[in-house]
Structure formats: C-alpha cells, structure tokens
Amino acid sequence: MRFGSSIPSEASIRAVYENGVFEPSENIRLVEF
C-alpha cells in the first residue's frame, strides 16, 4: 500500500495549513516533501 507515499492525503495537507507548522506524524511520515 504505497498510496500515501506518492500523494499526501488532503487531510495531511489540510492539517499543515491549519497548524501552520509541519509536524511529521505517523500518517504524514510516509510522505517525503
């Protein structure tokens, strides 16, 4: 299952905008920016 590794889910990106700070969680951890 490499669905998240290629494209970050909207929830992941949305959390970054809401928080304003990029906090690598287990879900976002699979994605490399």
Q: Report residue 27 as tokens.
A: 């879900």
What are the extents of the domains in the chain? 1-33
Tell me the pLDDT tens digit for each residue of 1-33. 445 455 667 777 776 666 666 555 555 555 555
Contact 8, 31 (CB under 8 A): yes
User: Which residue is it, tokens 């998240």?
Assistant: 4
**What is the Cα 25 distance to its own chain's centre?**
8
Reported pTM? 0.26
pLDDT of residue 14: 72
pLDDT of residue 1: 44
Q: Report residue 8 as tokens.
A: 């970050």
